């Protein structure tokens, strides 16, 4: 436990430096080398003339390949490989210039002026400042249904545009010409250059998107501006990406092709890795069978990477007995997280009794005790009395298929039955369907993890600001909670801002619209030939600098 905490604390220190580093007048220059290299790598080179192909498993079909609609890690991995933003994150999750060759920030830290470098779309069209303006206004158009639209609310009038209270012309983004993009923010936002590296802020080719609303659904019509372009998409089977010859930084791209399989069974994926049919198995792209973790760790093959990620179960608070906060809290209190991380996940996940991961945690001791069965029984009895019922109906808990998700769900099902006498039915759903059901509140309790988009508590807290916020998925909202978040956006004193967050998190945990389990880590195995794959402290994977060596 202590060793793991130190690792995660180290991530916090790195991420903290990111926030401070964003307040200058220019983003960092692109790095001269990719992610950290293994000893002896310098002596190895890719085979001359031999195509470099990286093969990995995504576990499931991406929900989309459209950056404006991407909302999950699977889609994000594909979009991050095929698109590029004004900035891009380095291996420490620090923003560096990318499609923007320069950025100047006003003295009041509210106006950002980006200079767009010469670059092209995969179809040969030039990438311009107008593409960014169009893409951001497109995300804020409620007709698109972008669940991440709230990530643009830092831009002046963005929330008003998204909610129909202002015209798109009033948005604080303007292409002054093809090479100049001016962005005005509502308030100083020290992590804004991190946000511009996030896929919701990526550009879209206006000509392509307006000609075909379904342009991102098939490889034949997919147009992107990143290191790779999509050349094949056999739905629910395989995605093929190839090096984009039109990419502005193509000389830094070593891979000729990426082949993503979509194999739901983790044991099958690991067998394919062992048989040299995959070069990477496990997170952040897929999963590993939990039974294999001890032997992989013992053999020294397992890579463990801390990240700012929470593993939790969301609760539909709008119907049935789960409308009652005491019953929701009873379920949360009756989970034995320590047993789950010791016996199932097994690689240093930290039981967390709050909504924030270790790298940004406000109350380290949490808001309740792990496996507090007596309090859980008391809360359950009080909640049932408030509802006027003597028994609870069977509760359905849903998750997407991986070995780890299955075993965690089964453990919680058993604990709730033993500790509270509650019957739980497990429902396995294809990931894309699972996400849609969560968003439409077509569930009771549903598994989901949350990778931080940037290392600040607001990234977690703002998700639940409004019941209809794209990633809320619980139906819960609270007026005082919303007011505290609004105050935090105006508060420049870090300590006072932290106090506002602490009060907001307390309100959230008293309502318990999610059941937090643990701060997660990424675990994977990779071929000895793989170099330069960048996995940062936020859990983002970037294949731009990846290569295969002999």
The pLDDT score that the predictor gives to residue 48 is 55
The pLDDT score that the predictor gives to residue 12 is 30
Three-state DSSP class for residue 139: helix
Contacts of 374 (CB under 8 A, 6+ apart): none
CATH 3.10.105.10 domain extents, the chain: 304-522
Mean pLDDT across 424-442:
94
| pLDDT tier at 454, thresholds 50, 70, 90 | confident
Domain 304-522 has CATH 3.40.630.10: no
The pLDDT score that the predictor gives to residue 53 is 98
Question: Tens digit of pLDDT for each residue in 66-121?
Answer: 999 998 889 999 999 999 999 999 988 899 999 999 999 999 999 999 999 999 99
Three-state DSSP class for residue 234: strand
**Comparing C-alpha atoms, which of 302, 481, 335 is closest to residue 412?**
335
Say what the pTM is.
0.78
CATH 3.90.76.10 domain extents, the chain: 2-259+526-548
Top-tier CATH class for 2-259+526-548: alpha beta
Out of 272-281, 284-293, 335-344, least confident range: 284-293
pLDDT beyond 80 at 15: no
pLDDT beyond 90 at 490: no
CA angle centred on 59, ends 53 and 64, rounded to 5°: 85
The residue length of the chain stands at: 550
Is residue 186 a contact partner of residue 109, using CB atoms and an 8 Å limit? no
């Amino acid at each position: 436990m202590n060793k793991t905490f130190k690792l995660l604390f180290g991530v916090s220190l790195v991420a903290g430096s990111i926030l401070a580093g964003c307040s200058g007048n220019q983003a960092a220059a692109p790095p001269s080398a990719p992610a950290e290299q293994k000893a002896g790598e310098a002596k190895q080179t890719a085979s001359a003339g031999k195509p470099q192909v990286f093969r990995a498993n995504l576990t499931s079909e991406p929900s989309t390949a459209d950056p404006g609609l991407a909302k999950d890690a699977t889609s994000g991995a594909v979009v991050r490989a095929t698109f590029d933003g004004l900035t891009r994150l380095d291996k420490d999750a620090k923003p560096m210039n990318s499609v923007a060759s320069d950025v100047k920030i006003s003295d009041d830290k509210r106006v950002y002026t980006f200079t767009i470098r010469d670059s092209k779309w995969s179809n040969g069209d030039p990438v311009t400042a107008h593409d960014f303006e169009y893409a951001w206004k497109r995300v804020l158009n409620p007709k698109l249904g972008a669940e991440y639209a709230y990530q643009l609310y830092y831009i002046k009038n963005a929330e008003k545009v998204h909610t129909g209270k202002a015209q798109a012309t009033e948005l604080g983004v303007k292409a002054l010409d093809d090479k100049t993009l001016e962005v005005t923010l509502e308030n100083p936002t020290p992590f804004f250059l991190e946000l511009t590296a996030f896929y919701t802020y990526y550009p879209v080719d206006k000509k392509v998107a307006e000609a075909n609303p379904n342009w991102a659904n098939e490889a034949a019509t997919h147009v992107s501006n990143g290191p790779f372009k999509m050349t094949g998409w056999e739905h629910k089977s395989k995605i093929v990406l190839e090096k984009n010859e039109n990419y502005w930084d193509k000389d830094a791209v070593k891979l000729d092709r990426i082949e993503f399989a979509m194999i739901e069974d983790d044991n099958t994926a690991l067998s394919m890795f062992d048989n040299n049919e995959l070069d990477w198995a496990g997170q952040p792209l897929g999963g590993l069978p939990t039974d294999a973790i001890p032997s992989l760790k013992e053999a020294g093959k397992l890579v463990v990477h801390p990240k700012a990620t929470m593993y939790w179960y969301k609760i539909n608070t709008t119907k049935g007995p789960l409308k009652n906060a005491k019953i929701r809290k009873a379920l949360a209190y009756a989970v034995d997280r320590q047993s789950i991380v010791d016996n199932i996940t097994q690689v240093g996940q930290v039981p967390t009794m709050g909504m924030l991961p270790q790298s940004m945690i406000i109350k380290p001791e949490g808001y309740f005790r792990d496996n507090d069965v007596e309090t859980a029984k008391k809360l359950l009895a009080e909640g049932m009395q408030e509802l006027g019922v003597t028994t609870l109906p069977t509760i359905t808990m849903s998750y997407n298929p991986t070995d780890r998700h299955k075993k965690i769900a089964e453990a919680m099902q058993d604990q709730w039955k033993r500790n509270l006498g509650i019957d739980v039915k497990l429902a396995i759903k294809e990931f894309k369907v699972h996400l849609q059901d969560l968003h439409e509140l077509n569930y009771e309790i549903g598994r989901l993890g949350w990778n931080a988009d940037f290392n600040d508590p607001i990234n977690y807290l703002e998700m639940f600001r409004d019941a209809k916020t794209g990633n809320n998925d619980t139906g819960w909202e609270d007026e005082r909670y919303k007011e505290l978040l609004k105050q935090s956006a105006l508060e420049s004193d870090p300590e006072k801002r932290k106090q506002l967050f602490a009060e907001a998190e307390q309100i959230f945990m008293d309502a318990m619209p999610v059941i937090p389990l643990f701060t997660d880590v990424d675990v994977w195995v990779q071929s000895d030939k793989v170099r330069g794959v960048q996995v940062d402290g936020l859990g983002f994977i970037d294949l731009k600098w990846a290569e295969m060596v002999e």
